[in-house]
Amino acid sequence: MDNIQKQFPELANIDKRIWNEVYEEIRFYHLTASYILLDLQQSYEACWRIHMTKRCAQMLLKYESKAITELYETGMLGHSVYLHILELIEKKSLNLEFYRVSMVKGHLKTIEDPFDLLSLFRSLPNDEKTRWQRIMKVKHRWYQPDHILFKKGQRIQTAYLIARGIVKCKIDAMPIYYRSGNIVGIDALFSQDVLAHDTYRVSIGLLEAYCIDGILLSQFLHDKNLAPSIYREIAVNVLINNYQERLKLNRLQLRLLVHKRAKFYWNELDISIQLKENQRLFILAGYVNHLFNGQNNKYEPMQLQIFDTETEILLNSSTVAYSWMDEDEELSIKDANLTVHFPLPTYDLLSNDLLYPGHLSEITQVSERRHSASLLDDGIHSSEA
């Protein structure tokens, strides 16, 4: 948008409010497109590899054309040789743009089994993975674009583990997107006192997901290999939906905090822990006892406690909790690691040149006296058509 303003000074007369509205709309479309591309990259890896190989080849041809044109401008290339090289480049570019690219030899299938995309099961032993694959197969579903999974304030009986596709939840001005590996509605399914935080619907394209009901959730939480990941997903959703303003962290920072820095307590048998000043304790399930000045205070689940003095906390076998320091929150703000498996802000993560290199577009113009430039012009027009 800034470049457009520089190239067309007359646009400065447009009202600033209108300009900002256009800017926000473009920003929204860019964000949506980025999430779609990230989902395609993750969900259809073989197809994405073929597509990006084609795009990279087009980029190389584009820059090869520019280099040949610059060489011709110096007079080092004869006119007939120059035309011949451009014709070869143009033919290659047309083939890439309009002809099907074959699968790489040795690849048996284009689309992976959706179960294999889920990081939740990836590290399990093979026999366990096979067992869960059988269980999850009957839970597999497809949903059409714009299908509403649940509405704001609804009591949730089914959560959705996303395999492919995007789920959108528009709470603020900008929507929140959930991709492969996220479980939408898991916090409200886990605690029946929690209702759907907002309306969740299938975004652009089909959604491929696994339905999780109360019985399946209970199976997850009784599996020692899966329970920590499921509890972490529940904790992140509860913190985001209920304590984001209090902690003054955005969604990405809260995810990083729980994934990388918070200490996890689970299946502890009547032990006490010492919390330091300003240490946070989030009780997800069960309860804890707080010993202070001879008094025993009981804290119920779904509570975030911040202690201003050193404190002794008693845990028990029912307790599921997370603790962290205020320094951990500061480090999460500074952490630039975007590789964790969850929804991401995607501004500036994708190169427009790489995704849309065009078909010999923006080639350096040849001087008007060289009629051979018409060959390039024709190529550009054929691409736009």
Q: Which residue has the higher pLDDT, 342 or 102?
A: 102
Three-state secondary structure call for residue 241: helix
Number of domains in the chain: 1
- Asked whether residue 72 is domain-assigned, the answer is no
Output the domain CATH number for residue 167: 2.60.120.10
- Asked whether residue 30 is domain-assigned, the answer is no
- Asked whether residue 51 is domain-assigned, the answer is no
- Asked whether residue 266 is domain-assigned, the answer is no
Residue with tokens 């610059």: 70
In this predicted model, what pLDDT tens digit does every residue of 122-169 receive, in sequence order?
Answer: 889 999 999 999 999 999 999 999 999 999 889 999 999 999 888 988
Structural domain containing residue 177: 114-241
Three-state secondary structure call for residue 217: helix
In this predicted model, what pLDDT tens digit does every residue of 239-288 receive, in sequence order?
Answer: 988 898 888 888 888 988 999 999 999 988 888 899 998 899 999 999 99
CB burial of residue 193 (10 Å; 0-12, 13-18, 19+): exposed
- Distance from chain centroid for Cα 20: 26
pLDDT of residue 69: 87
- Asked whether residue 205 is domain-assigned, the answer is yes
Which range in 106-120, 125-139, 174-188 is most confidently predicted, on average pLDDT? 125-139
- Asked whether residue 100 is domain-assigned, the answer is no
Q: Which long-range contacts (CB under 8 A, 24 or more apart) does 87-93 make?
A: 87/375, 89/61, 89/64, 89/65, 89/360, 90/360, 90/375, 90/376, 90/379, 92/57, 92/61, 93/58, 93/61, 93/62, 93/359, 93/360, 93/379
- Asked whether residue 338 is domain-assigned, the answer is no
- Asked whether residue 319 is domain-assigned, the answer is no
